[in-house]
């Protein structure tokens, strides 16, 4: 089961569904429903487990628990008829050799949920859907009211955001969307995104508004990219690379993975944008020439993407953060080698954890005295709450999108390397 794979084995929901033969054999409509069940279960897991807990003397095995969780998701949060959800779930349990001995328990528990589950769930605050360690850390960093707002977003599916090469207003009109943040086209789309007008022609690519901001901030800090050498490190699948190219930079895109590099190439081919692609391990790479602007969107816990990927908050553990911070420190150190004197380095992560964000930048600045934060101007079209732009650092919370409909959580920092004349003067 996909939910059991996420909870017990740390799988991503989409990859688990893609590898499930039972899902693969379904028609598109049923596949979409199966995906919706998995996503709803993960979005509402805290409330679901609170509904189930009083009905279970001891926790059942992981797969049995997953059957119960997905059934509750259907009855309580997806308005599936209780008799259908109970009957289908019990049938699945009986067909599962390892779970079959628990079919009576599953039937009895779900019949009780059918009677009182909705009323019981309504008493449980949505903030409980975040795991305890994240709830505590985010409350300390951002306050309980902000975390409550994020919990309301977790319960809903995100809109589709597009970055367009040209004319966002025109594409918003063609596709029936709106422009948010001055540049991003936002749609309410469910279904095959590749069938939308402009996809095959390469006029746009899917990219959350938050993920589009690092390239915009870097361009603003550099005074434009035309005539400048720009590097996108950890570039695949290529959303930021395509932005940098469309902004007129002479772009070199780096990535470690052959499969991801191929995906990057396909995206550049589709959008008819040109970049030099280098497959290399950044920690072992020495550039022949340095760059005027370097964008490092570093690997991270991705906790800021919880709305698009609700599995992230359940298969990440607090112990996972420290190894990631070590990797981020290493990548920042090597990214600095790619920056020309007087050049600009942007560091970003789609994490809400301060240990992966400002803490990494502060440590980097202590070790690299020839770098300093760049004071950032407001981002055109993005009216952020006071304090979200702090010197050379920006913190984006999921609940603070321009239209109030949410976005990924993100952190951005912009640093400039002293040029040679500055170094001589100091």
Residue 189: name the closest of 177, 181, 179, 198 by CA: 177
The C-alpha atoms of residue 134 and residue 113 are separated, in whole angstroms, by 28
101 annotated to bind ligand = no
Q: Which two tokens stand for residue 292?
A: 């005027």
Q: For residue 251, give the 3-state DSSP assignment.
A: strand
62 annotated to bind ligand = no
239 annotated to bind ligand = yes
Q: Which CATH number fits domain 2-124: 3.40.50.2300, 1.10.10.10, 1.10.940.10, 3.90.1150.60?
A: 1.10.940.10
Q: Which two tokens stand for residue 394?
A: 């920006």
240 annotated to bind ligand = yes
Q: What is the pLDDT along the chain (426 residues), one digit of tens a residue?
A: 556 555 555 555 665 556 666 666 677 788 888 889 999 999 999 999 999 999 999 999 999 999 999 999 999 999 999 999 999 999 999 999 999 999 999 999 999 999 999 999 999 999 999 999 999 999 999 999 999 999 999 999 999 999 999 999 999 999 999 999 999 999 997 778 999 999 999 999 999 999 999 999 999 999 999 999 999 999 999 999 999 999 999 999 999 999 999 999 999 999 999 999 999 999 998 888 999 999 999 999 999 999 999 999 999 999 999 999 999 999 999 999 999 999 999 999 999 999 999 999 999 999 999 999 999 988 888 888 888 999 899 999 999 999 999 999 999 999 999 997 554 433
Q: For residue 201, give the 3-state DSSP assignment.
A: coil
Does residue 350 have an active-site annotation?
yes
Catalytic residue among 222, 245, 338, 350: 350
281 annotated to bind ligand = yes
pLDDT confidence of residue 425: 39
- What torsion do the CA atoms of 399, 405, 411, 415 make, to the nearest 10 degrees? -130
Q: How far is CA 51 from the centre of its chain?
A: 28
pTM for the full predicted model: 0.93
Q: For residue 170, give the 3-state DSSP assignment.
A: helix
The C-alpha atoms of residue 198 and residue 163 are separated, in whole angstroms, by 12
Q: Which two tokens stand for residue 63?
A: 């797969």
Report the CATH number of the 205-425 domain. 3.40.50.150
Q: Which two tokens stand for residue 376?
A: 């950032």
The C-alpha atoms of residue 347 and residue 161 are separated, in whole angstroms, by 22
The C-alpha atoms of residue 166 and residue 183 are separated, in whole angstroms, by 9
Integer Rg of the chain from CA:
23
* Local structure of residue 75 (DSSP, 8 states): I
The C-alpha atoms of residue 278 and residue 5 are separated, in whole angstroms, by 34
The C-alpha atoms of residue 381 and residue 379 are separated, in whole angstroms, by 6
CB 219 within 8 A of CB 225: yes
The C-alpha atoms of residue 8 and residue 10 are separated, in whole angstroms, by 6
Q: How far is CA 160 from the centre of its chain?
A: 13
- Cβ contacts of 147 within 8 Å, gap of 6 or more: 127, 130, 135, 138, 139
Question: For the chain, which residues make up each domain, given as ranges?
Answer: 2-124, 205-425
Number of Cβ within 10 Å of residue 297's Cβ equals: 21
The C-alpha atoms of residue 81 and residue 76 are separated, in whole angstroms, by 10
Residue 392: name the closest of 369, 374, 377, 368 by CA: 374
């Amino acid at each position: 089961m996909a939910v059991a794979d996420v909870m017990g084995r740390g799988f991503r929901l989409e990859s688990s569904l893609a590898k499930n033969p039972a899902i693969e054999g379904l028609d598109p409509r049923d596949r979409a429903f199966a995906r919706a069940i998995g996503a709803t279960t993960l979005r509402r897991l805290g409330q679901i487990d609170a509904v189930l807990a009083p009905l279970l003397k001891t926790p059942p095995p992981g797969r049995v628990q997953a059957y119960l969780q997905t059934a509750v998701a259907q009855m309580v949060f997806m308005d599936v008829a209780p008799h259908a959800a109970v009957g289908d779930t019990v049938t699945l349990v009986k067909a599962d050799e390892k779970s079959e001995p628990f079919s009576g328990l599953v039937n009895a528990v779900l019949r009780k949920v059918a009677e009182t589950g909705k009323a019981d769930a309504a008493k449980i605050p949505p903030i409980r859907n975040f795991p305890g360690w994240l709830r505590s850390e985010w409350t300390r960093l951002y306050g309980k009211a902000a975390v409550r707002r994020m919990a309301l977003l977790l319960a809903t599916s995100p809109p589709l955001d597009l970055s367009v090469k040209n004319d966002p207003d025109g594409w918003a009109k063609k596709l029936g969307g709106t422009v948010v943040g001055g540049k991003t086209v936002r749609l309410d789309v469910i279904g095959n995104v590749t069938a939308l007008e402009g996809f095959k022609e390469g006029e746009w690519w899917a990219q959350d508004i938050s993920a589009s901001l690092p390239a915009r901030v870097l361009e603003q800090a550099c005074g434009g990219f035309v005539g400048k050498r720009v590097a996108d490190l950890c570039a695949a699948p290529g959303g930021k690379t395509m932005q940098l190219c469309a902004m007129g930079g002479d772009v070199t895109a780096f990535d470690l993975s052959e499969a991801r590099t191929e995906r990057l190439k396909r995206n550049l081919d589709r959008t008819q944008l040109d970049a030099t692609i280098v497959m290399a391990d950044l920690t072992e790479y020495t550039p022949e020439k340095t760059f005027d602007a370097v964008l490092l969107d570093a690997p991270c816990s991705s906790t800021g993407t919880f709305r698009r990927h609700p599995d992230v908050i359940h298969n990440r553990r607090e112990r996972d953060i420290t190894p990631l911070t070590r990797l981020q420190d290493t990548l920042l150190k090597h990214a600095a080698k790619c920056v020309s004197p007087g050049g600009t380095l942007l560091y970003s992560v789609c994490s809400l954890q301060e240990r992966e964000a400002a803490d990494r930048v502060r440590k980097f600045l202590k070790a690299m005295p020839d770098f300093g934060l760049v004071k950032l101007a407001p981002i055109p079209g993005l009216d952020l709450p006071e304090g979200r732009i702090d010197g050379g650092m920006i913190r984006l919370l999921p609940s603070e999108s321009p239209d109030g409909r949410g976005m990924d959580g993100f952190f951005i920092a912009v640093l400039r390397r002293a040029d040679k004349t500055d170094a001589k003067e100091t």
